[in-house]
Amino acid sequence: MDKKTKKCPVCEKGILIAADDILSELEGLIFVEKGERCNSCGEEFIPEETGQKTIGIARRLNVWGHPLKLHRKLSKSTGGTILRIPQDIERAMDLKGDEHVLVSKIGKNKFLVELEGAHIV
């Protein structure tokens, strides 16, 4: 192994590959961050400074310490699969219910829903 290849400290089998779609959770909020992922066990590593930056952003957005994460079950309709947005999030984001959203697939079992044209106040 050359010096650039980092071995996974968790499984000690895989190597760490750069990834820019790592989801990290802070106080119930999800952030997409850059870091490394093991190609064997899938363990994700985020550099300390990136983690600190995320905390800074969370504080600046005033979302720090306001966890908005709830478990939801998908339901099926003739039109497709339905995800109900929890009322807390609906209220906090002032959703009217007719917004256009972008849905992105991130990784194997995660997706991200963004309000289209949304801006941070």
Residues that bind Zn ion (CB under 5 A): 8, 10-11, 14, 38, 40-41, 43
Largest CA distance in the chain: 55
Q: Report whether 3 contacts 30 (CB < 8 A).
A: no
Helices within 7-94 (DSSP H only): 48-60, 87-92
CB of 121 vs Zn ion, minimal distance in Å: 41
Instruction: Please say which residue, 11 or 17, places its beta carbon nearer to Zn ion.
Output: 11
Instruction: Please say which residue, 10 or 63, places its beta carbon nearer to Zn ion.
Output: 10
Instruction: Please say which residue, 9 or 65, places its beta carbon nearer to Zn ion.
Output: 9
CB of 17 vs Zn ion, minimal distance in Å: 11
Q: Report whether 106 contacts 33 (CB < 8 A).
A: no
Say how far apart CA 57 and CA 113 lie, in whole Å: 19
CB of 6 vs Zn ion, minimal distance in Å: 10
